[in-house]
Amino acid sequence: MTTAGDIMHRGAQWIPAHETLDRAAQLMRELNVGALPISDENERLCGILTDRDIVVGCVAMGHDPAEVTAGDMAKGTPRWIAADADVGEVLREMQSHRIRRLPVIDDKRLVGMISEADLAQHLTDDQLATWAESVYARVPSG
């Protein structure tokens, strides 16, 4: 059985909720990533911050990224997966919540992230096509 721990990208790092978005952008550049899990003061997942969140939710709104914190951007219930979860569970979690990045947790600690690139390296073409169709499909407006 292939698990989340088998396909994840190791070395993921938290951005503490109190850190500013300019610091988050610097860390994304240093790590060459487009998203960072946000941690609370107890190193528990409280959200995920993407480069798009910084641009659209802060800069484009006229806010100063040196004044807005990662915690200010954390919205909704963060999704994650256990390191020992099988790939089917990973796909269901990502598909059902229409997410493209998924933190991997082991013993209450962040151990990695699963991204589109990780899926592309480990899934069959059919699995990848099904995942992409469900995550990127447009939701009809009410």
Which residues in the chain belong to E strands, given as ranges? 9-10, 15-16, 35-39, 45-50, 81-82, 102-106, 109-114
| C-alpha–C-alpha distance, residues 1 and 125, integer Å | 18
Checking if the pLDDT of 141 tops 60, the result is: no
- Can you name the residues that pair with 102 across neighbouring β-strands? 114
Residue 38 and residue 47 in contact, taking contact as beta carbons nearer than 8 Å: yes
141 within a domain of the structure (yes/no): no
- Can you name the residues that pair with 47 across neighbouring β-strands? 38
Q: Compute and round to an integer the Cα radius of gyration of the chain.
A: 15
Q: How far is CA 11 from the centre of its chain?
A: 13
Q: How far is CA 117 from the centre of its chain?
A: 13
The pTM is what? 0.83
142 within a domain of the structure (yes/no): no
42 within a domain of the structure (yes/no): yes
The predicted model gives 129-137 an average pLDDT of 78
Residue 37 and residue 81 in contact, taking contact as beta carbons nearer than 8 Å: no
The pLDDT of residue 119 is 87
Average pLDDT of the chain?
89
53 within a domain of the structure (yes/no): yes
Structure tokens at 91: 């796909």
Which range of residues forms the domain containing residue 8? Answer: 4-136
Band (pLDDT 50/70/90 cuts) for residue 140 is: low
Q: How far is CA 83 from the centre of its chain?
A: 15
Number of domains in the chain: 1
* Eight-state DSSP code of residue 134: H
The pLDDT of residue 126 is 83
Instruction: Report the CATH number that the domain containing residue 71 is assigned in CATH.
Output: 3.10.580.10
| C-alpha–C-alpha distance, residues 2 and 65, integer Å | 40
